[in-house]
Structure 1
Amino acid sequence: MNNQWMKRTLLAVSIQFAIGSLYAAETEASADVVADQAASTDNASSATSSQTAPVANVAQATEDVKINKDETKSLVPKPGTQAAEALQKKEGDASQETNLQEVFTSNERQYSLIKKGEFSTFYDLDYSYYRDSQLNLGINEGTAYQLRVDEDASHTISNTFTAQYGIRDNLTFTASIPFIAKSDSLKDATAAGLGDINFGARWEPFPLKAGRLPLILFGSLSTKTGDSPYEINPEKDLSTGKGYYSVGVGASTRKYIDPVVLFASVSANYGFKETGLNQVRGGGNANGQGGQQLGQRTLEEFDPGMTGGFSFGFAYSFNYDVSMTMSYQQSFNMNTSFTYKPYPGATNQNPEKYKAADQSSGMFSIALGVRVNPDTIVNGTLGIGLTEDSPDISLGLSFPLDILGFGKKKAN
């Protein structure tokens, strides 16, 4: 048994030794072949160089070497690559700053001016929705009865046509004519007609200068061409205007910080007092039309007081065609008062003056601007009311009328 294992072991060692010897022989032969090939290549290269050197010298002596510029590598990106498209400016495209300024001012026109002699028109379609709950009850000897909660919802649609003309490069005149449509669920009434016509001007007192924020001053005059809320039956009718004249002033500025435009403005409005009114509050008028006349007070004077406000926000351009504007507006109404004359037969015949509580209105707005052609930008706006005196929601659409064929007149 031991003899058999010894034979097998000796046979395995012999086979391993033979294979190792053959592998070593092949390795040495391969190395010799590689060395011989390298030596042959070096000799051939030396011979070729020695043979071609005179020819090269002759060619260099007889003519200059010409460089093919088409085959020379360049740092300029090849046409069709992404880098080339990024560097190449398409015809009609504006720079990022110019494009953002155009988109921003198309939606926030009070922050811009137009050149002398230019004329442009715009159309604005706005919708606002108010919802409120009114609690109606009677109190007798400290006990409430006839409790009823009335849900009131009002809808207002405004169609405004605006024209602006550049009197000078730093002075722009504007005028707007609104057409209003309203409906009220509690009164079960509707109204439609002309609103309050407005006139305005924007003036830039200082020329643009590097390192200085642009300043634009603006003023406005609002008429009372719409139906006054103080000359109708307040129980049954709806108004299309505010019912008094007002003037306003303000200032605005903006700052371009890549890649956004920051803007802010402040304003103040003063409403002129309305006298000689003859509206019975609580129903009808002093001529016995509408409502229950007995014991009602008649509105004789109305003083709208002062209104102040501010706004700020930013505009951002996603690309050449699409941009977004976000803003917040806050307004305050102060010193509003009503003067009533006593009804016939009342013990106190002196006028009664009532001062209304101050009101505040806040609105957050998001606008999306889309460039439909190189010269036309359409803006859509969504507004969300943040206070009780604000619309619950508002929607807006604005675009220049040259999209409908009313061409924009440019200065010569």
Structure 2
Amino acid sequence: MKLRMLPALLASTLLLQLPAHAQQSTTAPASADAARDALAKKEGEGDQSALLKETLTAVDKQYSLIRQGQYQVSYDLNYSYIGQEKIVTDYSIAGLTLFEIENTSSHTITNTLSADYGVRNNLTANVTLPVISRYSDVRGHSGLSNTLGDISLGARWQPLEARRDRPNLTATTTVRLPTGRSPFKVVAGSGQATGSGVGSLSAGLNVNRIVDPVALFGSFSVTGSLPAKHLWQVNGTRVLTKVQPGPSVGFGMGFAYALSYGISTTMSFQQSIAAGSKLTFADGLKVKTNMQTSAMLNLGLGYRMSPKTTVNLSVGIGLTSDSPNLSVGLNLPLAF
């Protein structure tokens, strides 16, 4: 009698030792509620609002603040291309003596490390350190430069507490230091400029509002630059001694859309209008350059690799002759 019961006891023991999902396989199929739970957001995946905030941070660092005492470090990789064709002509008494098409191209790769520190919950300090590699091919010579770009120091202040039922405002200010190679001191054939050559101060206002699964954002800024003095750059038959860049204004707008808990897309438009610069030469000649207008259409994709890491890829298309033809960017937050 006991030998006949032994197989049943062994079977019961093995069933108790099976994993939970193996035991369920012997029961009825999973219900619709169980299927919905399996497809629902799991703990640690975050939500669409958090993803949109991280996407806005990558699109423009001025949209996100961090808590007091905390810091964030991110890495940006950007490639831009500028290609132009210029018609060079020369006239004499007898008429046209020279007609030539000159091609100019420039490839720039910028590696930027950015660090943010929360001074207060509504005040964030920022520093950016760019390293620029630029190759330019112009008539008569070509060259490659690998140097430090212009370092920037900035601050972002949120005057009002962020709320979902109203737009969020952020005031910004940025000081750019002329640490890169100045275009006003580069000698022809000795390398390419990697900086602006002048210090500048920018102030702006940014607004954004998240309405799941869409975030709308816009910005406006004004920039003023210090003059570049005590120059001695040979330009043809004249020597450049001073440059006073004109002020500029910039604005932008766009939206971010969360396709899922891990994927988001962005589309934005940015434009900058700069007044002409005043040039002073050693012989007393003073010239003012034309106004410049730069506009870019940007398309982006964000992928949430983990609750703390969202990688963003963007592509920019130039819309004016003063803009880069193409720009490709990658933003990656660095967690320690």
For this structure pair, what is the TM-score category when the shorter chain's length is used for normalisation? 0.7 to 0.9
Mapped to 2, the partners of 1:96 and 1:236 lie a distance apart of 50
Conserved 8 A contact 1:155-1:182: yes
Structure 1 residues 137 and 235: alpha-carbon distance in aligned structure 2, compared to 1, 3 A threshold: farther
Partner of 2:241: 300
Amino acid corresponding to residue 329 of structure 1 in structure 2: Q
By relative contact order (CA 8 Å, sep 6+), the higher-ranking structure is 2
The offset of 1:308, in angstroms, is 0.6
1:2-41 aligned at under 5 Å gives the runs: none
- Tell me the SS of whatever aligns to 2:43: coil
Amino acid corresponding to residue 170 of structure 2 in structure 1: I
Amino acid corresponding to residue 323 of structure 2 in structure 1: S
The number of residues matched between the two structures is 304
RMSD after superposition:
1.6
The answer to whether structure 1 residue 258 and structure 2 residue 212 are counterparts is yes
Mapped to 1, the partners of 2:52 and 2:242 lie a distance apart of 48
CA deviations on 1:175-229 (whole Å, 9 max, x unpaired) are 0111111111113111111111111000011223464321100000001111101
Q: Which residue, out of 145, 155, 176, partners 1:222?
A: 176
Mapped to 1, the partners of 2:72 and 2:164 lie a distance apart of 28
Amino acid corresponding to residue 135 of structure 2 in structure 1: S
Amino acid corresponding to residue 271 of structure 2 in structure 1: Q
1:11-410 aligned at under 5 Å gives the runs: 78-81=32-35, 83-85=36-38, 88-141=40-93, 143-186=95-138, 187-209=141-163, 211-234=165-188, 237-282=191-236, 296-342=237-283, 351-402=284-335, 407=336
Amino acid corresponding to residue 334 of structure 1 in structure 2: A
Please say which structure displays the higher CA radius of gyration.
1
| Greater fraction of residues in helix | 1
Structure 2 portions without partners, runs of 5+: 1-30
TM-score (norm 2): 0.87
Partner of 1:45: none
Mapped to 2, the partners of 1:177 and 1:101 lie a distance apart of 23
The offset of 1:264, in angstroms, is 0.2
Mapped to 1, the partners of 2:247 and 2:271 lie a distance apart of 14
Conserved 8 A contact 1:234-1:281: no
Structure 1 residues 322 and 142: alpha-carbon distance in aligned structure 2, compared to 1, 3 A threshold: farther
Mapped to 2, the partners of 1:362 and 1:172 lie a distance apart of 28
- Tell me the SS of whatever aligns to 1:185: strand
Mapped to 2, the partners of 1:93 and 1:324 lie a distance apart of 18
Amino acid corresponding to residue 218 of structure 1 in structure 2: T
Structure 1 residues 264 and 115: alpha-carbon distance in aligned structure 2, compared to 1, 3 A threshold: same
TM-score (norm 1): 0.71
Conserved 8 A contact 2:245-2:277: yes
Mapped to 1, the partners of 2:233 and 2:58 lie a distance apart of 42
Partner of 1:68: none
Amino acid corresponding to residue 367 of structure 1 in structure 2: G
Structure 1 portions without partners, runs of 5+: 1-76, 283-295, 343-350, 408-412
| Greater fraction of residues in strand | 2
CA deviations on 1:352-395 (whole Å, 9 max, x unpaired) are 11011111000000111111112100111100000000000011
The offset of 1:96, in angstroms, is 2.7
Tell me the percent identity: 36
Mapped to 1, the partners of 2:112 and 2:332 lie a distance apart of 11
Amino acid corresponding to residue 96 of structure 1 in structure 2: Q
Mapped to 1, the partners of 2:107 and 2:218 lie a distance apart of 30
CA deviations on 1:86-134 (whole Å, 9 max, x unpaired) are 5x44111323323322333233321110110111111111110000112
Mapped to 2, the partners of 1:211 and 1:322 lie a distance apart of 24
Amino acid corresponding to residue 299 of structure 2 in structure 1: I
Partner of 2:8: none
CA deviations on 1:249-289 (whole Å, 9 max, x unpaired) are 0000101123210000000110101111111113xxxxxxx
Mapped to 1, the partners of 2:84 and 2:265 lie a distance apart of 31
